[in-house]
Structure 1
Amino acid sequence: MLVVGGGISGLATAWFLHRRGRSVVVLEAGAEPGGSIRTERRDGFLVEGGPNSTLYRDGALAELVRGLDLERELIEANAAAKRRYIAKGGRPEPLPDGPLALLSTGVFTPAGKLRLLLEPFHGRAAAEESIAQFVQRRLGREFLDWAIDPFVSGVYAGDPARLSVRAATPKIYALEAEYGSLFLGAAARMLRGRPSGPQPTGRLISFRTGMQTLPRAVARALGDRFRAGQAVEAIERTPTGWAVRTPAGTDEAERLVLAVPAYRAAELLAPIDRALGEALEGIRYPPVASVALGFERAQVAHPLDGFGMLVPGRLGRETLGVLFSSTLFPERAPPGRVLLTAFVGGARHETAGTLPEAALVERVLADLGPLLGIRDAPVFRHLTCWPRAIPQYELGHLGRLARIDRALDRLPGLHLRANWRDGISLVDCVANARALADALAAPA
């Protein structure tokens, strides 16, 4: 089998196939494995250009980590990471982490808290809704503005008015669909011993040498089955399957997995099936810049005692949020210094995500400086810019996926596996990769 793409989706698919006794080769255009998972150590700072952490629990990711003998490399997030801040009233406010905290928090007004009590009395939606429509209908405008909107910006770099609740947050949608209420659904699941809410579960982890430890380990395990620097020029159908042409030559296989972004899959597949190419090209990827800034500890007044701070869209700032990276995990900054990782751009500020380095740093300092009490210029800076960052599961996304699946039915032996469907997180990508590998390795 051939896998095109050495990000975590392609690597995990290949690893699970190999473990199940199938012959597989991975072709990666870049010089290193990992795709958007990118770790660098510079001047004593450990910088993540993509994902900074992931949830870890029993399942596909645990199987992958154990199989690679990486358990000793796992590190769990600082206990302080349970505290999340939101920018409101010119300062960081801790988000409530439970019912009792919700009663005392200043993030929501008394009227906003009372509005939550009406949630069980709202019926099911009659048509597809955006996340914004769904949350405002069920929980009210305050909860949308000060909780869900910044959360969506932090996870998707997206606009909740455009993202489909059913596609982007299926567990939340399922509570209404199954129980008619988020609160009643969470309570019913708790009584049945199931997870009590739609929030992800598991331990927040990284690796001692950063997130790219994982894809690098997969590539080493695959050995010469992983081929870097092999940019695909074209793919073609053959009488027995598929052919992939690179500058090094042509590889053929009965089955081909394209584990690449939707826009790249569109480029490769449009000459074969125009409708499929158009459907894939329609998935948006707004630009996002990851801005890592190091400071002397005395330069930042805030205690940085948490995961980070989200910036609600209604504040009109182009910085989506910031991670307190040196609080999250050890050895992310030299002694006496701290590391902050801010994110700029996204679906509502696309031009900001493509600004030059000096302008991006200035924008982040202007947005975050007054909130965190930052004094003077950073002693360290490192930027990672993604012109096309996170796929957006917008309204109509599930219909688009249905069209893609119908087109794939016309192309036997071709499979698409990447984070533009079925979940954008690393843990989702690994789980989906294992499911595909199991299907491909099953006896005919």
Structure 2
Amino acid sequence: GDPAELITRYALPKLYKLEQEYGSFITGTIKKGFKKKTSDELKVTRKVFSVKGGLSSLTEALYKLSGKDSFILGVSDLKPEYKEGKFHISFSNSQNENITIIANKLITTSGAFSLDTLLTFIDNESLSKITNLKYANVVEVILGFKNWNGMNPDGFGGLIPSIEKRDLLGVLFMSSLFANRTPENGTLFTLFLGGMRKPEMYNKSENEIKAIVEKEFVSLMKPSEFEPELFKINYHKNAIPQYGIDSGERFDMVDKLENQYKGLIIGGNLKGGIGMADRIKQGKELAVRACG
């Protein structure tokens, strides 16, 4: 994101809390290190982890354990209505059958940009306070080498500061972070381009992206030759929400709408943080609210 537009208390709430409680982020980090931890806090680790087989294994397990019959996938013409304190949700399933479900609660974790087409029972003026959230488009590039001959990618990777004037946002050393991602002696990298700093990257062709990546990657990682066995490009539209100055107004509107339409729960990355940990934390909170 653009540091000039991001608001710390919304985009980085943990850092903001340290500053408010201890006077500064650095002082807070040091003092918190000496603070006695609770039994739950002692269980927390900074170790980077994933799921065997990739994160899709987690969602697939949840899908199976929750009961496949509890899910309806591939729907179209989705139209929810709010009538007498209930949600009447009409749609067509994958067999083109028209179905209506009446529910006490309606939960959405969709991006802010899609809510005006989903929550059609809410007036546009109110929803616009949420749907005006800016998102950064990102280009993800995956590079795989069977026999790597360059700088030792031992570590996490790194973000590239704007002052360096590069066309990359950052690079992750995936084969160092996670086990079983490559064949023996193989190396895997994930690179990111675009974002708010370089939005034009999202509109470039794959050939243009390949040329940019080769130039930047060789400059950074110093391979003796650039001949990856794997070169995959993914374009992610509306990838990263930007928690700017209007975030407080957006959060207030979410609260207002949830109070106005009893049983409506609005989640997703439009509130509560943008990272994976934020999504897991929010998922648990939404589950508790849904069962309450």
> Cα deviations across residues 25-48 of structure 1 (Å, max 9, x unaligned)?
xxxxxxxxxxxxxxxxxxxxxxxx
**8 Å contact from structure 1 (residues 270, 276) kept in 2:** no
Q: Report what 1:259 is aligned to.
A: 109
Q: Secondary structure at the match of 1:297?
A: coil
Once the 2 structures are TM-superposed, how far is the Cα of residue 240 of structure 1 from its aligned partner? 4.1
**8 Å contact from structure 1 (residues 280, 404) kept in 2:** yes
Q: Does 1:282 align with 2:132?
A: yes
Once the 2 structures are TM-superposed, how far is the Cα of residue 370 of structure 1 from its aligned partner? 1.4
Q: Which runs of 5+ in 2 are unaligned?
A: 39-43, 94-98
Q: 1:227 aligns with which of 63, 72, 92?
A: 72
Q: Does 1:207 align with 2:13?
A: no
In 2, Cα distance between equivalents of 1:424 and 1:394: 13
**8 Å contact from structure 1 (residues 163, 393) kept in 2:** yes
- In structure 1, give the amino acid aligned to 2:71: F
- Greater mean alpha carbon deviation, residues 180-189 or residues 260-269: 180-189
Q: 2:169 aligns with which of 320, 323, 338?
A: 320
Q: Does 1:170 align with 2:19?
A: no
In 2, Cα distance between equivalents of 1:251 and 1:351: 43
Q: Does 1:239 align with 2:84?
A: yes
Q: Report what 1:340 is aligned to.
A: 189
Q: Secondary structure at the match of 2:155?
A: coil
Q: Secondary structure at the match of 2:49?
A: strand
Q: Does 1:191 align with 2:40?
A: no
In 2, Cα distance between equivalents of 1:270 and 1:286: 25
Q: Secondary structure at the match of 1:431?
A: helix
In 1, Cα distance between equivalents of 2:29 and 2:232: 42
| Identical amino acids, percent of aligned pairs | 29
Q: Report what 2:213 is aligned to.
A: 364
Once the 2 structures are TM-superposed, how far is the Cα of residue 437 of structure 1 from its aligned partner? 2.1
Q: Secondary structure at the match of 1:293?
A: strand
Q: Secondary structure at the match of 1:388?
A: strand
Once the 2 structures are TM-superposed, how far is the Cα of residue 210 of structure 1 from its aligned partner? 0.9
**8 Å contact from structure 1 (residues 287, 353) kept in 2:** yes
Q: Does 1:272 align with 2:122?
A: yes
Q: Secondary structure at the match of 1:368?
A: helix
In 2, Cα distance between equivalents of 1:372 and 1:362: 16
Cα separation, partners in 2 of 1:186 and 1:362, compared to 1, 3 Å: same
- In structure 1, give the amino acid aligned to 2:179: P
Q: Secondary structure at the match of 1:236?
A: strand
In 1, Cα distance between equivalents of 2:180 and 2:17: 40
Q: Report what 2:96 is aligned to.
A: none
- Greater mean alpha carbon deviation, residues 186-195 or residues 322-331: 186-195
Q: If the length of structure 1 is used for normalisation, what is the TM-score? A: 0.59
Q: Secondary structure at the match of 1:422?
A: coil
**8 Å contact from structure 1 (residues 266, 276) kept in 2:** no
In 2, Cα distance between equivalents of 1:269 and 1:345: 30
Count of matched residue pairs: 280
**RMSD across aligned positions (CA):** 2.0
In 2, Cα distance between equivalents of 1:329 and 1:186: 27
Q: Report what 1:131 is aligned to.
A: none
Q: 2:265 aligns with which of 415, 431, 435?
A: 415
Q: If the length of structure 2 is used for normalisation, what is the TM-score? A: 0.88
Which segments of structure 1 move beyond 3 Å, counting only runs of 4 or more? none
Once the 2 structures are TM-superposed, how far is the Cα of residue 224 of structure 1 from its aligned partner? 1.1
> Cα deviations across residues 113-153 of structure 1 (Å, max 9, x unaligned)?
xxxxxxxxxxxxxxxxxxxxxxxxxxxxxxxxxxxxxxxxx
In 2, Cα distance between equivalents of 1:304 and 1:288: 23
Q: Secondary structure at the match of 2:240?
A: coil
Matches within 5 A, 1:89-100: none
- In structure 2, give the amino acid aligned to 1:162: E
> Cα deviations across residues 77-117 of structure 1 (Å, max 9, x unaligned)?
xxxxxxxxxxxxxxxxxxxxxxxxxxxxxxxxxxxxxxxxx
Matches within 5 A, 1:31-430: 158-194=1-37, 201-222=45-66, 223-231=68-76, 233-248=78-93, 249-298=99-148, 300-374=149-223, 375-430=225-280
Once the 2 structures are TM-superposed, how far is the Cα of residue 179 of structure 1 from its aligned partner? 2.2
Q: Which runs of 5+ in 1 are unaligned?
A: 1-157
Where relative contact order (Cα < 8 A, 6+ residues apart) is larger, the structure is 1
Q: Secondary structure at the match of 1:319?
A: coil
**8 Å contact from structure 1 (residues 354, 387) kept in 2:** no
In 2, Cα distance between equivalents of 1:255 and 1:270: 16
> Cα deviations across residues 229-286 of structure 1 (Å, max 9, x unaligned)?
1245221112241122222222220111012111112322255222232012111111
- In structure 2, give the amino acid aligned to 1:420: L
